[in-house]
Structures are given as C-alpha cells and as structure tokens.
C-alpha cells in the first residue's frame, strides 16, 4: 500500500509538470481526485490492509489527497494569471490606429420626395390623412363612380384578396372616407402605396407610391386647379417648369385631364426618359364628379372640388433624371447613396 502511495505521488508530479492550461489542470484534478480516481481507489483498498496499519495508511492517503489539492490550486493561480495576461494582450487596442468608419443611415429618396411634397402642400393649407392599403371595392371603385360593369375598371389591373377586398389601386380610396366624416371646406392630401398587376419594366412596377390631393368648398373652379398645380410643381422643382394639360377620362372627375411637365433630363429636346417627346406625364387630375360628391353626402349644387394624383416615383425620376423606376425598390446602396438626406 505504501509503495502504491509513493508511486501515485510520483506519477501525479510528472503529470502536473505537463499541464499548460487551466483546462488541462481541471482534467488532471478529475483524473486523480474524482470519484473514480486512484486516490479514491486507495481509500477502498484500506479494507484489505491489516487492522493495525489502517490508521497510519488512512492518514497518509488523506495527506496525499490534500497535497494533490494544494498543488492543483497553486498551479491554477499561476495559469489563470498567465491566461488573463495573454487575453488582455490580444485584446489590446492600439489607439494610434485610425478609427473604423461608421456609415450613417439616410432617408430613402421616396421618403425625401414625400417630405418635400408635404412641406409644400401643408404650406398651401392641406392636411395629411393616411388610408388603408387593403380596402373594399366600395371605397376603391364603387363610391368613386366605378359601377360594377364600368369599362374603366379594365384600366386598373387589380390584386383582389376576395370578391370584396383588394389592394388599393390608388390613394383616391381616401376621398369618400374623408367626405363621410368631414364637412367642407375640405383640403386633404393622402399619401401611400398603391398596387397594380402590371409587368415590371423601367417605367412600371407592381407597387408604387402616390399622393392624392383634393379640395372641396363653395365655388371651387377649374382655374384654381390649374393654378394650384402650377404653383406646386414650380415649388417642387425650384424652377419655372413648363406644364401641359391634356383632356383625359377618369370616372371620378369631370372634366378630367393629364398633367405633363417638360423633361428636365433633356430640357424638352427629347430623350429615352420622355420617349423622345420632350414631355413627362406626372399626374391625373380634374374636377370631382358630382356623383362622387353625392356619394359622400355633399350637395354638388352647393359645393365643387378638384382632385389630382401624383406618382411619387415619377416626380423623383423627373427631379433627379432617374430613368429606371426599379431602382427605387432594389435597395442598391450604390444608387441610394447618391441621395443623402440633409
């Protein structure tokens, strides 16, 4: 038994000298002092020793156990200090190195255009009201003078969710909601996303952003509509931009018109952006149809109004000479970084 104790002590010393890390030391502790280790085995072997030798052998085994534990604790203190020093050395920061550049986020170009439009139209007396992206057929079509079998519905390639619910095709769906809850004078702009089932090209997308504006009061005239449009466009583009108005048909206005502006990319001489016409369509507009006013419980014999809808992507294209509408939704930083917010 005494030879086993001496041999175990010698073997422990050799193994302890090989330890390099605290993990190795933990493994060594489990190996010698664990429940299945050799020290515990010696304690179990005491029953095979002579009765008169058991007290002295038990004492030596306990002393061996305490010795192993003390050596392990001493070595642990040395190794943990060494490892912490190495880790601190690896994590040391050289304050003379240049700092890492942190790129700032920026407002998306569409949001920037919206903000500019809001500033202009709020200054002209309009308030902002938001409508739902998912709406009923009534608010999107029927209340705006689109009967169920009206051919004008063919102009809208609509995403239907159910027979009655759909993704709105224009922000005009807010017109009736406002008329039902407010009394004239009404001067409102309604911004948001619109959705149409179209082939994605450089000029069209399945979703886009639109701004609906409408004004209802007594004696609102067609000339007021034209004057408001001209003033808005000049303030947005910061120049005396040329406008052109063409007769057009929309079920919810009468008369209706298309609004064109001279192409800022080519100064009206003709380019691929304007299809070599020198003009770009920016909006549909007109005087609100009497049927729409009646649907909103507003007497068309007393009140009149105008409405227009601008495509925000189209305004951005004209303002910055952008030729592909798909760039607005592709999240390409090479494109977006050209329009930092101020």
Summarised one tens digit per residue, pLDDT across range 172-206 is 999 999 999 999 999 999 999 999 888 888 778 99
CA distance 54 to 130: 92
Assess whether pLDDT exceeds 90 at residue 3.
no
Output 114 or 16, whichever has higher pLDDT.
114
pLDDT of 123-165, one tens digit each?
A: 999 999 999 999 999 999 999 998 887 766 666 688 889 889 9
Angle at 125 between CA 124 and CA 126, to 5 degrees: 100
DSSP string, 50-71: -TTTHHHHHHHHHHHHHHHHHH
- For the four alpha carbons of 257, 175, 231 and 323, in that order, the dihedral sign comes to negative
Classified as helix, coil or strand, 1 is coil
Please state, in angstroms and rounded to a whole number, the distance separating the CA atoms of residues 55 and 33. 21
Burial, 59: exposed, middle or buried (Cβ in 10 Å; 0-12, 13-18, 19+)? Answer: exposed
Question: Which residue, among 140, 175, 141, 111, has the nearest Cα to 307 in the 3D structure?
Answer: 175
What mean pLDDT do residues 14-32 have? 86
Q: What is the CA radius of gyration of the chain?
A: 41
pLDDT at 46 over 80: no
């Amino acid at each position: 038994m005494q030879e086993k104790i001496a041999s175990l002590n010698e073997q422990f010393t050799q193994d302890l000298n090989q330890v390099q890390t605290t993990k190795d030391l933990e493994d060594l502790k489990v190996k010698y002092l664990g429940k299945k280790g050799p020290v515990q085995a010696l304690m179990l072997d005491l029953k095979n020793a002579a009765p008169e030798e058991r007290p002295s052998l038990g004492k030596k085994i306990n002393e061996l156990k305490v010795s192993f534990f003390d050596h392990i604790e001493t070595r642990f203190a040395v190794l943990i200090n060494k490892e912490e020093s190495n880790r601190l050395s690896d994590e040391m920061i050289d304050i003379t190195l240049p700092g890492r550049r942190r790129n700032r986020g920026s407002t998306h170009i569409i949001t920037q255009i919206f903000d500019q439009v809001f500033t202009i139209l709020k200054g002209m007396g309009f308030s902002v009201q938001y409508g739902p992206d998912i709406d009923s057929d009534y608010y999107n079509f029927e209340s705006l003078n689109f009967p169920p079998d009206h051919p004008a519905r063919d102009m809208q390639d609509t995403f239907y969710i159910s027979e009655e619910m759909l993704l709105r095709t224009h922000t005009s769906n807010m017109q009736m909601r406002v008329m039902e809850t407010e009394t004239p004078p009404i001067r409102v702009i309604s911004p948001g996303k619109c959705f149409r089932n179209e082939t994605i090209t450089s000029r069209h997308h399945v979703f886009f952003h639109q701004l609906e504006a409408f004004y209802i009061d007594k004696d609102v005239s067609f000339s007021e509509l034209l004057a408001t449009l001209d003033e808005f466009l000049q303030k947005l583009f910061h120049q005396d931009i040329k406008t052109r108005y063409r007769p057009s048909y929309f079920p919810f206005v009468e008369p209706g018109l298309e609004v064109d502006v001279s192409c800022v990319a080519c100064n009206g001489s003709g380019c691929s952006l304007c299809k070599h016409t020198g003009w770009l369509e920016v909006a549909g507009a007109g005087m609100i149809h009497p049927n729409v006013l009646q649907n909103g419980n507003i007497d068309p014999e007393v009140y009149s109004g105008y409405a227009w809808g601008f495509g925000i992507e189209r305004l951005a294209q004209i303002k910055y000479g952008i030729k592909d509408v798909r760039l607005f939704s592709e999240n390409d930083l090479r494109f977006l970084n050209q329009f930092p917010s101020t």
